[in-house]
């Protein structure tokens, strides 16, 4: 790291990931700009920070929570070295996708849906194992 970069870091105010905003700079260990924050991947109800989706010149990339160093009001100082910037992974979209179950809802409005959700007898399907 350069001395000028280290001085600049000491002038910044640290913040929590919850306060991070879209468009904040994301920097490498040497201060090279990786990109800007597109969005934070987190579950605030569990206080779980998964990482950042970063908009780069090569498209969206994922910076894991382990790769995030200091978060300040002006930048995210990552632990990514310059040589690894092109190797950042694409954001994964597979695990959080939910698909519809056509057997779960067979139509006829909200009344039927609520009936099935609250297990009203005449709206639920009998299982073979009961």
Ranges for all domains in the chain classified under CATH 2.30.30.240: 3-87
Q: Which of 7-16, 34-43, 84-93, 108-117 has the lowest mean pLDDT?
A: 108-117
Residue-level pLDDT at 75: 96
pLDDT tens across 48-79, in order? Answer: 899 999 999 999 999 999 999 999 999 999 99
Q: CB–CB of 43/27 below 8 Å?
A: no
Tell me how far apart the alpha carbons of residues 74 and 3 are, in angstroms, rounded to a whole number. Answer: 18
Residue-level pLDDT at 123: 46
Residue-level pLDDT at 43: 85
Q: Residue 20's pLDDT band (boundaries 50, 70, 90)?
A: very high
What's the CATH class of domain 3-87? mainly beta
Residue-level pLDDT at 29: 96
pLDDT tens across 76-87, in order? Answer: 999 999 999 999
Phi, psi of 38 (to 5 degrees): -90, -50
Please give the mean pLDDT across all residues of the chain. 79
Q: Residue 44's pLDDT band (boundaries 50, 70, 90)?
A: confident
Q: CB–CB of 83/75 below 8 Å?
A: no
Q: Residue 34's pLDDT band (boundaries 50, 70, 90)?
A: very high
Q: Residue 47's pLDDT band (boundaries 50, 70, 90)?
A: confident
């Amino acid at each position: 790291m350069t001395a000028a970069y280290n001085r600049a870091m000491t002038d910044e105010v640290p913040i929590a990931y919850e306060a991070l905003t879209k468009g904040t700079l994301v920097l490498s260990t040497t201060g090279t700009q990786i990109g800007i924050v597109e969005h934070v991947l987190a579950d605030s109800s569990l206080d779980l920070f998964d990482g950042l989706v970063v908009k780069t010149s090569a498209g969206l990339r994922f910076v894991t929570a382990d790769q995030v160093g200091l978060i300040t009001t002006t930048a995210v100082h990552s632990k990514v070295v310059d040589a690894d910037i092109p190797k950042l992974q694409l954001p994964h979209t597979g695990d959080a996708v939910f698909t519809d179950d056509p057997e779960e809802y067979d139509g006829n409005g909200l009344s039927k849906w609520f009936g099935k959700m609250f297990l009203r007898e005449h709206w639920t399907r009998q299982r073979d194992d009961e």
